């Protein structure tokens, strides 16, 4: 199985388990900068050099040796499940991707046909009923996660605990898990714990968001998208995420964590 979704600086200063929709573009660029003193020119997900990634064959033995021996500081980053699934909908379902096409080719037409979802289009300014369509998308996301149909769950809306657990199950352990909602504080705690070739000043780092500007803007407050049924579906999908990463299931309008993450609990519950 190895360590899918794991990135490591070439200097091996730090190891990061990517969790989609949780500031991964910014974190990857910070790692790249800390080694090279410059940012990757383009989307960091497209880089094939300058940063070790499990998806690059030549990086795998280096990552595996490092992680299994816990030679470097290892971390990941999480996000409120309510805002994460909303972001996935607007980016991946409604948005036009970097290649100028819809995400995953036939996915959106299938959602329009089978779930009655509308996504709008750039020509009309993405005008559509966002709340109705999002709630239908939630049914689809639940179907993919619970029954793996009409397709396997996508990495952008599968549970964070699933991504994070593969690292533990295959022999890794985390030194730090922080929240996207307290990004500077969390990322600084990582930088304070490691030695890097190039100093990173977080206040000077731009936010890298590969999904920005490619789709509709969210037209309503987060809580407006979630009625009782939607909250039930979100809890069904992300129960472990809420509990382990200390987010407030009861109040979709509260994106901030309500407790401290217990790393021992995360390793015990996700290491089975």
- According to the model, what pLDDT value does residue 213 have? 62
**Do the beta carbons of residue 90 and residue 218 sit within 8 Å?**
yes
Strand partners, 15: 8, 74
Residues (pLDDT < 50) of the chain are none
- The secondary element (H helix, E strand) that includes residue 64 is helix 60-69
Biggest alpha carbon–alpha carbon distance for the chain? 54
Q: Which residues pair with 179 in a beta bridge?
A: 78
Q: What is residue 250's predicted lDDT score, i.e. its pLDDT?
A: 97
DSSP notation for 91-114: IIIISB-TTSSBTTTTHHHHHHHH
Alpha-carbon torsion (251, 254, 258, 260), positive or negative = positive
Looking at residue 127, its pLDDT comes to: 84
Burial class (CB in 10 A: 0-12, 13-18, 19+), 83: middle
Give the start-to-end residue ranges of the domains of the chain: 1-97+155-216+238-272
- How many whole angstroms from its chain centre is CA 17? 10
Compute the distance between CA of residue 266 and CA of residue 263 in angstroms, rounded to an integer: 5
**pTM recorded for the entire structure:** 0.95
What is residue 272's predicted lDDT score, i.e. its pLDDT? 80
């Amino acid at each position: 199985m190895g360590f899918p979704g794991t990135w490591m600086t070439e200097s091996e200063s730090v190891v990061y388990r990517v969790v989609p929709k949780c500031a991964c573009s910014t974190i990857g660029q910070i790692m790249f900068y800390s080694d090279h003193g410059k940012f990757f020119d383009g989307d960091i997900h497209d880089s094939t050099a300058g940063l070790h990634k499990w998806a690059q064959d030549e990086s795998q033995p280096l990552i595996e040796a490092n992680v299994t021996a816990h030679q470097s500081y290892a971390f990941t980053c999480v996000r409120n499940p309510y805002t994460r699934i909303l972001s996935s909908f607007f980016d991946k379902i409604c948005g036009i991707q970097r290649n100028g096409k819809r995400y995953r080719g036939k996915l959106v037409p299938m959602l329009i046909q089978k779930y009655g979802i509308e996504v709008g289009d750039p020509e009309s300014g993405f005008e559509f009923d966002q709340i109705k369509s999002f709630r239908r998308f939630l049914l689809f996301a639940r179907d993919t996660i619970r029954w793996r149909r009409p397709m396997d769950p996508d990495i952008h809306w599968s549970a964070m605990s699933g991504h994070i657990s593969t690292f533990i199950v295959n022999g890794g352990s985390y030194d730090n898990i922080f929240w996207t909602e307290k990004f500077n504080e969390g990322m600084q705690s990582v930088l304070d714990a490691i030695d890097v070739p190039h100093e990173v000043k977080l206040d000077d780092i731009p936010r890298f968001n590969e999904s920005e500007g490619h789709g509709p803007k969210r037209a309503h407050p987060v809580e407006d998208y979630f009625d009782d049924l939607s909250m039930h579906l979100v809890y069904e999908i992300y129960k472990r995420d809420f509990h382990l990463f200390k987010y407030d299931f009861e109040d979709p309008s509260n994106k901030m964590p309500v407790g401290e993450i217990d790393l021992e609990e995360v390793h015990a519950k996700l290491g089975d």
